[in-house]
Amino acid sequence: MEIIRIRPKGQVTLPLFVRQKLQVEEGDYLVCEVEGDRLVLYKMPVYKRASFDDGIWRLIGSAVDREGKNDVSEEKHKYLGEKA
């Protein structure tokens, strides 16, 4: 346990042992929750950004709905940028 002080603008410095234990570094995000009178911080999960090479795109857009219309996701370039 370690006591930390609130700085101007509500800022706090996470002690080194906390940063090491959570494996957080500059630029990472933490989720902040209040549980009763406790402040809970935990590392936000990191998700890989979508890419044109993702296998899911081979499936999306290949389906036909009950009315015979193609899946609207055929135009995936609109979701990922303007690569056509």
Q: What phi, psi does 34 have (nearest 5°)?
A: -110, 125
Average pLDDT of the segment spanning 43-68: 72
Q: Which residue bears the tokens 């006591």? A: 3
Domain boundaries, the chain: 8-43, 48-84
Residue 22 has pLDDT above 70, yes or no: yes
Residue 65 has pLDDT above 80, yes or no: no
Contact 77, 84 (CB under 8 A): yes
With bands split at pLDDT 50, 70 and 90, how would you rate the model's confidence at 19?
very high
* DSSP annotation of 73: G
Would the pTM count as exceeding 0.75?
no
Residue 4 neighbours by CB under 8 Å, 6+ apart: 12, 13, 14, 15
Give the number of other CB atoms < 10 A from CB of residue 76: 19
Q: Cα separation of 59 and 50, whole Å?
A: 14
